Chain A
Amino acid sequence: MTTRRRLAELVLPALSIIGFVALWQAVVVLRGIPPIYLPAPSAIAAALVQMARDGSLWTNLAATILRIFAGFAVAALGGVALGLLMGRSRIVAQIADPWLAALYPLPKISLIPLMIIWLGTGETYNIVMSAISAFFPIVLSTYAGVQQVDHGPVLAARDLGASPRQIQTKVILPAAVPHIFNGLQLGMGVTIILVVAAEMIGGSDQTGMGYLLINAGQVMDTDKVFASLAVMAVVGAVIMKLQRFIDRKAAPWAVHAGPRQD
């Protein structure tokens, strides 16, 4: 890659954001748009600074991130385990299949009323919503990954003396890892959505970015609404990028295939 292209790759996205914010500021100031409809970027920044100062940003952000990861961890463990089991045993696959087929396409947000009836609106409710949403894409990707494992390396391992158990752990599991990571990424994406939604609708403990958002909206604190949205956008992007980075480190054979350039 030429340095010129690399420079363009860094500069153009930055310019895109700066230009957009500048235009926004200019339009709001020149046209005198009421801040209740569209606050100026400077007002949003001021609201963000104030939220950071009084600590409300940090406590709510921490609560949301904790729920995301707690639910995701449960879903990842359970989902990968069930997916592997389904790949290993036709009986398990056949028992699980109708449930996955019925529940996967169901919008998980529609489970919120039921979960509130069963679990109340405390921390359990938030984490269960998070876990349920991530669980399905993780199970299905893991199962697909196990099913699509190349037969060749399995035969080779058998010829080299591997037991059926060793074939599972040393061939089928690592071969399915790219699919499993794919499922984990999909799961993380929906978990972020569902945790914020759950905080907006339930959330008796009145914490989390979703609560902050809906609360600010109800009292027409539009600059706070925008500040919360900006924070969530950045957090979401950072989590997804981080996940991709971990995937690349953990499974270097699966990504950017092709001969090495050195």
Chain B
Amino acid sequence: MEVRVEAVSKVWNVAGAAPVTALDTVHHRFPSGRFSCLLGPSGCGKSTLAQIVGGLETPSTGRISIFDPVNGRGAAPGAASIMMWQGLNLFPWRSVIDNVAFGLEVAGIGRAERHERARAMLATVGLNGFDKHLPRQLSGGMRQRVALARALIMERPILLMDEPFAALDAQTKIVMQEELLRIFEASRKTVLFVTHAIDEAILLGDEIVVMTARPGRIKEVIPIELPRPRSFELVNTKEFGALFQHVFHLIRDEVTKAMREATAEHAA
């Protein structure tokens, strides 16, 4: 599924304060079956853009069109995508298997079938034997796998990921990134991956959409033409280093600008 973002703006109206422009006339074409990373400082509207594509927020102006580039068939925002959240948003009262099977349960699929499919999906993300556990009994990395399985079981062609690995320790993060690479390279979904980590964006993405802060605009789109399948060893290559330098310089201006604004706001 291809996602076209056409002149999308999002303005937050806060009572008693000046309206905040989270996104300012953003245009982009997220190609089908490609892994796109949205990279930028906090407050650049990258999460908002992902939520608008996922039908969880409505744009103030502009439109989103989602369609199959082969047969041209369209889909409403939200119908063809599933979100993996920054805070995971697991259901703490549900066991691992019932968390994963939630989407199937609300769709009316019987218990035996949905548990079987959930178990298979848990195996795919590398989490066997924890079906009956509650989320709080799992480590951070295991919870990530549950959230990933809960999203993947929906079999939607578009996967939206909002900084899913931000809270993980460095080693677990690498393991999860490689896991995601493996799953993406096997499934070839359209992925929109929100992150503020440059190395993560290069390692995972086919392209990096660099965004500016306040108002959120697209500053530059950088294609990442590193061969797949990829693994973490890529980080040590010369090409990776050169891309990192390039993206870093783009981002640095934005981060210092955002910091200057934050300091000015704080002083005022």
- Are B85 and A253 interface neighbours, CB within 8 A? no
| Chain A hits for B102, CB < 8 A | 157, 160, 162, 170
Number of interface residues, chain A, beta carbon within 8 A: 26
The CA-CA distance from A110 to B268 in the complex, in Å, is 55
Task: Tell me the B92-124 residues at the A interface (CB within 8 Å).
Answer: 92-94, 102-103, 105-107
How far does the Cβ of A228 sit from chain B's closest Cβ, in whole Å? Answer: 41
- Are B85 and A152 interface neighbours, CB within 8 A? yes
Which of A161, A162, A253, A260 contacts B92, CB < 8 Å? A253
| Contact A153 to B82, CB < 8 A, known contacts A161-B103, A257-B136, A260-B137 | no
Asked if B91 lies at the interface with its beta carbon under 8 angstroms from chain A, I say yes
- Are B93 and A155 interface neighbours, CB within 8 A? no
Contact with B along A243-262 (1 / 0, CB 8 A): 00000000111100111100
Contact with B along A144-186 (1 / 0, CB 8 A): 0000001011011111111100100011001101000000000
| Contact A152 to B87, CB < 8 A, known contacts A159-B82, A253-B134 | yes
- Are A155 and B56 interface neighbours, CB within 8 A? yes
Closest B-chain residue to A260, C-beta based?
Answer: B137
| Chain B hits for A162, CB < 8 A | 102, 106
| Chain B hits for A252, CB < 8 A | 134
Asked if B3 lies at the interface with its beta carbon under 8 angstroms from chain A, I say no
| Chain A hits for B78, CB < 8 A | 159
How far does the Cβ of B3 sit from chain A's closest Cβ, in whole Å? Answer: 16
Which of A156, A158, A251 contacts B93, CB < 8 Å? A251
How far does the Cβ of A76 sit from chain B's closest Cβ, in whole Å? Answer: 20
| Contact A160 to B136, CB < 8 A, known contacts A152-B85, A253-B93 | no
Closest B-chain residue to A256, C-beta based?
Answer: B136
Contacts A156-B89, A159-B56 given; 6 further ones with Cβ under 8 A? A150-B89, A152-B87, A156-B91, A159-B78, A162-B106, A254-B93
Which residues of chain B have a CB within 8 Å of any CB of chain A?
A: 54, 56, 78, 82-83, 85, 87, 89-94, 102-103, 105-107, 134-137, 139, 150, 154
